[in-house]
Structure 1
Amino acid sequence: MEPRLRMTLAYLGTHFAGWQKQENARTVQGELEKALARLYQKPVPTVGAGRTDAGVHADRQVAHFDPPLAIPPTGVLQALNSFLPWDLRVLQVKPVPASFHARRSAVGKRYRYRLAWGAVLPPWEGLRRLWLPRAPNLELLAEALRMLPGEHDFVRFSLSGHAGRGKRGTVRTLFVATLTAGRGRADMIFEGDGFLRGMVRRLVGAALEIAQGRQELSWLQALMAGEASLPPAPTAPPHGLTLERVFYRRPKRWAKGPQRAQTLRFYRTC
């Protein structure tokens, strides 16, 4: 039996209906498995670290598969990139132990949500950054993000149909929620031990409600407490969101707990 192979992937999610293979829809997993079938001349199933939604991008998504034939990893890398469409690339292929599982072995992820305002964005930047018609209040945006780190039940921040699985249900620990801003741009960075479907986009949507003056911080506090009488947080558009990294070892900065994530990296240069 050939050793299991781990792939690191990057894709522009604009024209994909998400990660998971679907009938009659163009997906990342579907295109990847088409390329693998062309290479190995037989179906080759893959497992991804997570299911990005339609329109969401990835810088370093991770997937694994069990190759039916012996082809060197460099050969797999070159062949797949020659078969794949322009908006999906394999960055790395390497052998891993059979115990490695792209999803179950992961201990966390990092996401980045990009914003812009003011000057018109070049088309290529607009593909991955949400343009706002007016500047958000960055102090309020920072205050909203400071409320998020910690272990919480994020049920009010998950898309309908995702009730959570396993013992944790909808409880997750967010270790990092930081903001960098300058020159008409702002990035929100989130790191946690897991994310519900739509969770990051709804955290962003809630923070923007506050930063744009439509809600108070007390509203976010009530959502975090799981107040059932409130509607769920609004969902930010998918194109501003990128899966940046999948962690298979806990970063040392997590050892101090989520309180450290409330130290904001904030640069007022815009």
Structure 2
Amino acid sequence: MYRKICNNGFTSDLWVQRYFECRKMFTTFVPAVNDNEASLLRNDERLIIEPDEVANKKLRLDSSDRVKKRKVAILLGYLGKNYFGMQRNPGMKTIEEDLIQALLKAKLINDEAFEIIQTIQFQRAARTDKGVSAARQVVSLKLPEHGNKDDINSFLPDEIRVFGIKRVTKGFNSKTKCDARTYEYIVPTFAFAPDSLCPNLSKENFDIDEKVEALSTIDGQPFFEYRVSPEIINRVNSVLKLYEGTHNFHNFTSKIKPLDPSASRYIMSFSCSEPFVSRDMEFVTLKVKGQSFILHQIRKMVALAIAVVRNLAPEETVTAAFQQERMDVPVAPSLGLVLNQVHYDKYDKRYGTDGIHEVLEWRELDDEVVKFKEEYILKYIFETERNENSMLKWLATLPLHSYSTREEHGNS
């Protein structure tokens, strides 16, 4: 059975193309055209061959392959322990690798998307480094309309949770549409105890074990019993405030030259919380909000602030670090660093009330997020700090740094 299509406004080339596409797509064809039909083809009249079996097969293909997809934003949290960061990296255990595998197992993406995730416009709001956790991370991608968080979570480890999925605009990109990121650094307060309170501390004849032993006693008491004074909290806040504004942070990362435009970053706020006690140890939360951050920037800012408060470096060292000269700045441990929030204020203002899309504040999920954060992220930080003394051991290395300018060697 075939239909004869004549030249009634359609170009002959288009119909010839459609004819051969049908022949290539399906294995069932009518017998070869006879001489009369061939002459019709030569006279710019086209044959569209549609046996009933072929038409039915085409209908089945259309219904199974054309799954409607929409651009969505996914809010998730994760414990960074045992992961080599957020971003997918072949051969490495990363958060994205586990998430993408879960999407595949839930049949929300196909094999092609699993191999080349860019085909579904996948993007993350922020990169987190090895061992760094996130309470609220956002990724954007295209998913089938029926996708839901329970299907994804059923294939994820408990340390990674999808909290919610929201429809976003077609052009939404979780990275470029993000106005700011808020990180927290949870640190035991004994980190701010002045070195003068710890006996037998000296740069000479440095021995890490001896230094840790000396730091274990603060003003005659075990280090974990230390309780910070309001005066020191005020001091911490005054140092953190020096980071606010737009500065050149080339000394707070690696492999970025002083004149590289990417070194310039805007810090909106940086402050220290009131102290609180967990596992018999006192902690504070340092909260920093900025447009974006570069590798190790937050951990280096925290490290230099601790050194200043401990009187290992003068306060002027912070502002000096914004200059072009290369400076020796230590890196604080990754344990206490948490991505706490990603902000979409401009997007929410423009699209959040259009009746189709929702704001990306996710406040309705706060209880679920806080529960996950407490049960996994904070619990791990507090227990690890108490059992492994990671901050105490790191503090022992601080006197090794000069906190002054240093000569460049080669192209480093």
TM-score of the superposition, structure 2-length normalised?
A: 0.52
Shift of 1:144: 1.2
Give ranges in structure 1 of 5+ residues lacking alignment.
119-131, 252-270
> More strand per residue: 1 or 2?
1
Question: Residues of 2 paired with 1:98 and 1:247: CA distance?
Answer: 19
In the alignment, is residue 98 of structure 1 matched against residue 170 of structure 2?
yes
Q: Which residue of 1 aligns with 2:131?
A: 55
Higher helix share: 2
Residue 205 of structure 1 deviates from its aligned partner by 0.8
In structure 2, which of residues 295, 314, 337 is the aligned counterpart of residue 216 of structure 1?
314
Identity, % of aligned pairs?
24
**Is the contact made by 1:4 and 1:64 (CA closer than 8 Å) also made in structure 2?**
yes
Establish whether residue 6 from structure 1 lines up as the match of residue 102 from structure 2: no
The residue correspondences of 1:78-227 to structure 2 (distance < 5 A) are: 78-117=150-189, 134=223, 137-158=232-253, 160-161=254-255, 168-183=261-276, 184-227=282-325
The structure with the largest alpha-carbon Rg is 2
Q: Is the 8 A contact 1:13 1:54 kept in 2?
A: yes
Q: Deviation of residue 218 (structure 1)?
A: 1.5
Question: 1:200 is paired with a residue of what secondary structure?
Answer: helix
Q: Does the residue aligned with 1:172 lie in a helix, a strand or coil?
A: strand
Give the SS at the match of 1:224.
coil
C-alpha distance 86-203 of structure 1, shift in aligned 2 (>3 A):
same
Deviations 1:7-58 (A, max 9, x none): 0010011111100111222100110000011122433423111110001110
| Higher RCO (Cα < 8 Å, 6 or more apart) | 1
**Deviation of 1:250 (Å):** 5.8
Distance 1:153 1:117, change over 3 A: closer
Q: Is the 8 A contact 1:19 1:28 kept in 2?
A: yes
Equivalent residue of 2:311, what SS? coil
Report the 3-state secondary structure (helix = DSSP H, G, I; strand = E; otherwise coil) of the residue aligned with 1:189. strand
Aligned to 1:129: none
CA distance in 2, matches of 1:222, 1:56: 28
2:342 maps to a residue whose letter is V
Offset, 1:207: 0.6
Q: 1:23 to 1:162 in 2, by over 3 A?
A: farther
Is 1:236 the counterpart of 2:332? The answer is: yes
Q: CA RMSD in A?
A: 2.4
